């Protein structure tokens, strides 16, 4: 089972562009991140520096977030917000350049928090229209766009809380390249039986991310049964990457013992099968 290090939340003791090399040194060949720039349309120099950091570290970018607004201030995406069509069109130019240069094939499109004067149905209509356009631009290159439910109470008025919430939007989009991001931390926090949900929704999942709960630290630090979770991923034949999107309880490298244990267990299982 391949794991990718989410560099927006791991190795944060280092400047962002230095994290790619740190991930490689820690044993990760694959990485992912949120939108890596402060604006939806970064400068050419910013994109070049980002791509150079990936290339020089000799890692592969496996997932990237669509521009999600001002996340430190509480934004959780702009996909469902009125009047963002021109912004997203400009953003897709820069995003496409990065995807083409890196071979990244998963884009996480955060839905956006509910705005006080916008009805939920209007938000959904806007999100569906934007997702169709994004998918039509990106799918010819084999890119999957994923829609993510988030933890209730930690993400403002973000309305998607369950896999079913995300599927309701995905079904309306009606594009095979638009799927669900299955994040163990968020879905567990909202009361979902993770292993069962993986089995039920196996065909709808485009990417997986993990963190333990409570605390959003590394697996093994909280109450999620990751043995059952990883077993269910194997059972359904999930062949994508598992994004390590957690906040280390100490430093990133000190907290990687869980990964060695998972890798060792998988090796033992494969040896028994052989």
Q: Is 218 a catalytic residue?
A: no
**Which of 111, 73, 91, 80 shows the shortest CA–CA distance to 35?**
91
DSSP 3-state percent helix, strand, coil across the chain (nearest 5): 45, 15, 40
d(CA 83, CA 23): 38
Contact 161, 123 (CB under 8 A): no
Helix spans in the chain (H): 19-25, 44-57, 85-102, 120-138, 163-173, 184-189, 194-200, 226-236, 257-273
Cis amide prior to 214 (ω within 30 degrees): yes
CA 212 to chain centre: 15
Task: Pick the catalytic residue from 32, 161, 218, 245.
Answer: 245
d(CA 81, CA 187): 24
Task: Pick the catalytic residue from 85, 90, 148, 235.
Answer: 148
Contact 144, 105 (CB under 8 A): yes
Q: Is 32 a catalytic residue?
A: no
- Determine which helix (DSSP H) or strand (DSSP E) holds 150, and give its type and residue range: none
Q: Find the farthest-apart pair of alpha carbons in the chain and give their distance in angstroms, rounded.
A: 60
Q: How many C-beta atoms lie closer than 10 Å to residue 213's C-beta?
A: 18
**Which of 261, 267, 208, 215 shows the shortest CA–CA distance to 232?**
208
Active site residues: 148, 245
């Amino acid at each position: 089972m391949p794991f990718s290090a989410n560099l927006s939340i791991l190795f944060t003791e280092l400047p962002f562009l230095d994290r790619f090399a740190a991930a490689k040194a820690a044993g990760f060949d694959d990485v992912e991140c949120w939108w890596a720039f402060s604006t939806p349309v970064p400068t050419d120099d910013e994109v070049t520096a980002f791509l150079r950091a990936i290339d020089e570290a000799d890692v592969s970018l496996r997932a990237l977030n669509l521009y999600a607004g001002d996340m430190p201030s509480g934004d959780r995406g702009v996909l469902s917000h009125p009047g963002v069509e021109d912004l997203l069109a400009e953003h897709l130019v820069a995003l496409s350049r990065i995807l083409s240069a890196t071979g990244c094939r998963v884009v996480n499109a955060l839905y956006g928090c509910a705005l006080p004067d916008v009805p939920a149905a209007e938000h959904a209509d806007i999100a569906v229209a934007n997702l169709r356009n994004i998918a039509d631009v990106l799918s010819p290159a084999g890119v999957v766009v994923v829609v993510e439910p988030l933890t209730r109470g930690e993400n403002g008025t973000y309305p998607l809380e369950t896999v079913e919430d995300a599927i309701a939007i995905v079904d309306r989009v009606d594009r095979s390249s638009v799927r669900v991001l299955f994040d163990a931390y968020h879905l567990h926090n909202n009361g979902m039986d993770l292993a069962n949900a993986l089995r039920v929704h196996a065909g709808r999942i485009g990417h997986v991310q993990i963190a333990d709960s409570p605390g959003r630290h590394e697996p093994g630090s909280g109450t999620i049964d990751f043995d059952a979770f990883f077993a269910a991923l194997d059972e359904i034949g999930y062949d994508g990457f598992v994004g390590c999107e957690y906040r280390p309880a100490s430093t990133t490298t000190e907290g990687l013992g869980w990964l060695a244990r998972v890798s060792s267990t998988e090796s033992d299982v494969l040896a028994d099968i052989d």
